[in-house]
Structure 1
Amino acid sequence: MLTDAAPGPSIFRDRNFVLFLTGQAISTQGLWIEKIAMSWLAWSLTGSAFWTGLIAALHFAPVFFLGPVFGVITDRVDLRRAAIFLNLLMAFTSFFLMGLSYSGHVTLGWMVVIATCNGILGSATTPVRLSLVPAIVPREYMSRAVTYAAMNFNLSRLVGPAIGGLVIAWFDVGTAFLLNAISYLPFIVVMMLVDINTTRGPETRQRRIWPALIDGARYAVADPMIRAMLLLSCVIAIAGRGMLELMPVFAEAAYDSGVTGLGILSSAGGLGAVVSTFMLSRTKSDPQSFQRVAVIGAFLAGSAMLGLCFCPWFELAVFLVGLAGFGLTAVGVGSQTALQLTVDNTLRGRVMSFWSATSFGGVALGGTVLGAISQWSDIRVTAGGSGLLIMLVAVVAIWRLGRAKALAPSAAE
């Protein structure tokens, strides 16, 4: 899984990629700061695990239905203009939410509306973002560019909430919304500066959306690796990341630690993500290696969540959340990078929109269902059940990988 092969030319010599990665790092941190702030605000307003899970779910639910459609559109549009337009809209919604928070007019109804709007914008943004990386770097840099961009985004998914928890504890939720609004501006500037080269199939603009979408689905289902990574991503999103969306409930209901405990638990998850990212940077740049990374990460995350079910001490819970962050980051980076290194460029927007639909749509479903379950039972029990499900899927995946490896030599003969 790790390699000591001689490195090629450094990806960080490429001006386009350095600019893109810098802008993305800033904007994605802001995005996840806002998500944790909205989850905490929903919990503060309602005291309900269900509403907390639902607000988190609305950020992701639209991608399940609209993501593949936006994936087809992404394969047709000018990526630069699309990225700038979408980031401007997201900055506007963040400034609006900040204004509501500072003026004292934020209500559950407004939160539902804004979370839904953000979910729709996120559905359009994800396939554009995933298609940008291969379009801004030369072919010889692509595998490393995809890897670092995937690690950056998935690291933000855990580091961002950690920062958000600390910002809420030290300042207030309005400051968290302000930071997110500002974070989009550097990325908009970057999109004006980078060179973008895209490859479109001859039929891309001519075919209607539905037939083009079916072509992408057939391509994804026919490839065993793509099919397996999409399934694993969906399960992890529902049972794993869906559980992390309820971290405000966990901090308060399980350990009575309030927003300070939320910041500590979120920071632990972020630290786990950092360690995972360091190890992933040494992973061999081929789809099979990242597929193994995803499966092993799933097993570790499931084990950590099962441990939370029986954990009476907050200090041990911090360690387990860190281990879960390590595993979930490995799954996110491993599955995304394996797909990016496999998919045909003319179908990239569609296939990666399927990944975002399973990943983010799964979070929406998981956040809602797990929030409803936790409303009527101990949240520790919910975490344990989620961990068991993840471990079961990981064990099956490990068995299939071993079987495929054993069959490979005989097939070669």
Structure 2
Amino acid sequence: MERSEPEKLDIDAGPAWEPLRHPFFRALWLATVVSNIGTWMQNTAAAWLMTSLTSSTLMIALVQTATTIPIFVLALPAGVLADIIDRRRLILMTQLWMLAIATLLGLLTLADLVSPWILLALTAMLALGSAMNAPAWLSILPELVPRSLLGEAISLNSASFNLARAVGPALGGLVVASMGPAGAFLLNAVSFLAVVAVVYRWRRSSCVEQEAVGGLGAAFRAGIHYVLDTTTLHAALARSVAFMLCGIALLALLPGLVRHELGFGAVAYGWVLGSFGAGAVVGALLQPYLRHLLRLEPMISMATVWFAVVLLVTAYGQRLMVVCLLMMNAGAAWLMVVANYHTTVQSVTPSWVRGRVLAVFLLCIFGAMAGGSALWGAVAARIGIRPTLQVAAAGLVLGLGATFRMRLPIDAGLTSGESHV
């Protein structure tokens, strides 16, 4: 396939909601909100069920690891598949897989057959479907909106996840309190039908091409070589790892903090986690305007320090309202950091290798999240949750300082190559 000369990056900020003017993006976005609400109900119920099955801080933190380690293991194979087979078909298959696993977990929970290890195993199997889905899902975003709106589309994609994070945990807490965790698991299974219905009706543009490669092995090697040879990607990947490795401590230790340190129940945990999502939605709405005021580097640095301060103060939180306000601030800062790294990677990656590059990005993000969750869970088991949050906050600042000299390409005015379609 012929590849054109690189074109100048075009990520000027537009209205935050502008991508929703495009009909399929709007339909898929709304379906995604529904499905993500189900996912957050599932996550809330799984974390809370684990606190009922065991008091081990490590086992509770491993729920977060189980949701992220499959992406670390499968991101690259999933990225290869996203580049060499029809992305629409791949998304449909993975959504149906997740529907089946959520249903199985719900039925086993109803039958009172779930142990801590069974819960971790089925959580990981559900995450396996998410891992195989993610590169294809992210790769279709440039097909749905004009390139000038890519940054806004990525922020809205993150906002849909976090809007659901604002609503899903609170609903999950209510469902767990009234119907038990099984109810949340089964409702999540139903939520996958929204995405299946929309994607099934989608017909991709005939001008969209995916490169024909000589099998999985050749495609895998080509993707790895591309990432290793493309220095414009290295800063975003390394800095996202530094942020996630320490930042994930907040979410990994949150169930234990709410239940064992603050003494609250499932409904309160849903409100606390929902506050994080609400803050992330606010962050997504602010981003287009902040891009007019700040360059990329200071925006990410400011958000990273902001998140570190919130993490430190949360370690001293005692009241539910205070913790919820802190989590709103954490959510906004998190969104600004992650969405800007994601936009950077998308903007400097050509279409023919986009699935594999995004897979590497996901591998870095979720590998750091999985490793960080296990690390901070083990540290908390030895020194306690509150001191661990303080150490993680310091780690965020140190990580920012250690990687700050690695400049991001958009600030440098670099270009990106797009495939000829």
Q: TM-score, normalised by structure 1?
A: 0.87
Shift of 1:5: 7.3
Determine if the alignment matches structure 1 residue 207 to structure 2 residue 214.
yes
CA offsets 1:83-135 (integer angstroms, 9 cap, x no match): 11110110111111111222222222321321221122121011111112122
What is the distance in 1 between the residues matched to 2:168 and 2:100?
20
1:269-310 CA-partner distances (Å, limit 9, x unpaired): 12221221221243549xx95565433322211111122234
Q: Could you say if the C-alpha distance between residues 159 and 353 of structure 1 is closer, same or farther in structure 2, counting changes exceeding 3 Å?
A: farther
Q: Is the 8 A contact 2:275 2:324 kept in 1?
A: yes
Instruction: Give the AA of the match of 2:69.
Output: A
Conservation of the 8 A alpha-carbon contact between 1:93 and 1:114:
yes
Aligned to 1:411: none
Counting aligned pairs with the same residue, the percent is 25
Q: CA deviation at 1:193?
A: 1.9
Aligned: 1:243 with 2:250: yes
1:203-257 CA-to-partner distances (Å, cap 9, x unmatched) read x333343443333233334444422222222233222124302211010222112
Go from structure 1 to structure 2 and tell me whether the alpha carbon gap of 1:303 and 1:111 turns closer, same or farther (over 3 Å shift).
same
Matching residue of 1:305: 311
Aligned residue for 1:18? 26
Of the structure 1 ranges 338-347 and 261-270, higher mean CA displacement relative to structure 2 is found in 261-270
Structure 1 residues 55, 267: CA separation in 2 closer, same or farther (over 3 Å shift)?
closer
| Residues 240 and 341, structure 2, Cα contact 8 Å, conserved in 1 | yes
- Equivalences for 1:77-116 in 2 at 5 Å? 77-116=85-124
Deviates more, 1:185-194 or 1:369-378: 369-378
**Residue 333 of structure 1: CA displacement?**
1.5
Report the AA paired with residue 334 of structure 1.
Answer: N
Write out aligned runs for 1:257-276 (5 A). Answer: 257-276=264-283
Aligned amino acid, residue 90 of structure 1: M
Partner residue, 1:295: 301
Report the number of matched residues.
Answer: 403
- Which stretches in structure 2 are left out of the alignment for 5+ residues? 1-10, 415-421
Query: Is 1:188–2:196 an aligned residue pair?
Result: yes
* Cα separation, partners in 2 of 1:61 and 1:9, compared to 1, 3 Å: closer
Q: How many angstroms apart in 1 are the aligned matches of 2:16 and 2:332?
A: 27
Of 150, 154, 175, 2:183 maps to 175
Q: CA deviation at 1:380?
A: 0.6
**Pairing 1:255–2:259 present:** no
Offset, 1:331:
1.7
TM-score when scaled to structure 2?
A: 0.85
Q: Say whether the 8 Å CA contact 1:242–1:362 is kept in structure 2.
A: no
| Counterpart-to-counterpart distance in 2, 1:230 and 1:38 | 30
Letter in structure 2 aligned against 1:194: W
Equivalences for residues 307-346 of structure 1 within 5 A: 307-346=313-352
Structure 1 residue 346, shift from structure 2 partner: 0.8
State the Cα distance separating 1:159 from its structure 2 match.
4.9
CA contact (8 A) 1:58 1:116 kept: yes
Aligned partner (choices 365, 372, 377) of residue 371 of structure 2: 365
Alignment partners' CA distance in 2, 1:389 and 1:149: 28
CA RMSD of aligned residues (A): 3.1
Provide the residue aligned with 1:165 in structure 2: 173
1:371 partner amino acid: G
CA distance in 1, matches of 2:32, 2:359: 18
CA distance in 1, matches of 2:159, 2:206: 23
Deviates more, 1:236-245 or 1:52-61: 236-245
Alpha-carbon distance in 2 for matches of 1:327, 1:61: 24
Give ranges in structure 1 of 5+ residues lacking alignment.
409-413
* 17-26 or 309-318: bigger deviation: 309-318
Alpha carbons 1:72, 1:212 under 8 Å: kept? yes
Judging changes above 3 Å, is the alpha-carbon distance between structure 1 residues 284 and 313 closer, same or farther for their aligned structure 2 residues? Answer: closer
Matched residues in 1 for 2:62 and 2:13: separation? Answer: 46
Q: Distance in 2 between matches of 1:323 and 1:8?
A: 19
Is 1:61 the equivalent of 2:105?
no
Contact 1:94 1:180 in 2 (8 A): yes
In structure 1, C-alpha distance between the alignment counterparts of 2:413 and 2:147, rounded to whole Å: 32
Which of 140, 154, 166 is equivalent to 1:146? Answer: 154
Cα 1:144–1:124 shift into 2, 3 Å = same
Identify the range of structure 1 (291-300 vs 16-25) with the bigger mean alpha-carbon deviation: 291-300
Question: Does 1:50 pair with 2:58?
Answer: yes
